[in-house]
Amino acid sequence: MSTYRKWVLCFLGMNLMFVPSLVFAQRNDEATERLGKALEYFTSQKYHECLMIMQDLEKQYRLNPRYKAYLGVCYYYEWDYEHANKYLTEAIPQLALFSPHERSFYYWANAESLFYLQKYKEAIPMYEAMLPLCYENEKPDAYYRLGFCHLFMENWVGAWNEFLKAQDAYQKYRDTPDMQARIIQVSHMLDGLKPKVIGIVISDLLK
């Protein structure tokens, strides 16, 4: 999500000034300097370079949960979804006291990683956990993904419900020229699912 990307880059840029107090259980000036460089790479969207430094630091120091989440985000943007899921799954439960929107991004990145790994059942609770934490204009994409999770699991009613939420949310919060193709796609998905859903409803009524 572009909104999330902008938020993360801004947030990490602000955190550069607080690196010495955030990073390690053991203070180390050289390591702090290297982490600062890694975050500079991150804010420049040089995720590979950032990852190389943070991987090395992790071998020598105990990174705190937030920085493990940052590492997971790096893996996510590098399309290494297995490692993104590993680090985000470990970090998220330890970040309950952090801001809702920050946590919503970690849930999103983890959900997306699971989605691309075709682990749709595991992705569903990640998207659902994101929804109460994110901004309203970020919810349509989560509903959209949830629709496909249910679709690929052949849960036709679940897919219908999520695509219907996505359609409503896109029209309410993201009805912009660049989103028209997505809105049309969701409408077509609903049209395709309609016969299946009607058949299920009729079958249930006849039981």
pLDDT at 139: 98
Q: Which of 176, 123, 178 is nearest to 146 (CA)?
A: 123
For the cut 50, the answer to whether the pLDDT of residue 129 exceeds it is yes
Look up residue 159 and give its amino acid.
A
pTM comes to 0.85
Cβ atoms of 130 and 144 within 8 Å: the answer is no
∠169-84-29 over CA atoms, to 5°? Answer: 120
**Using one digit for the tens of pLDDT, what is the confidence trace for 67-116?**
899 899 999 999 999 999 999 999 999 999 999 999 999 999 999 999 99
For range 120-128, the mean pLDDT:
99
Cα 10 off chain centre by: 17
Look up residue 51 and give its amino acid.
L
Question: Phi and psi of 63, rounded to 5°?
Answer: -70, 140
In this structure, which topology does domain 24-107 adopt according to CATH?
Answer: 1.25.40
pLDDT at 151: 98
pLDDT-derived band at 42 (thresholds 50, 70, 90) equals confident
**Using one digit for the tens of pLDDT, what is the confidence trace for 143-189?**
999 999 999 999 999 999 999 999 999 999 999 999 999 999 999 99
Share of the chain above pLDDT 70, in %: 86
Q: Which of 183, 149, 155 is nearest to 167 (CA)?
A: 183
For the cut 60, the answer to whether the pLDDT of residue 64 exceeds it is yes
pLDDT-derived band at 8 (thresholds 50, 70, 90) equals low
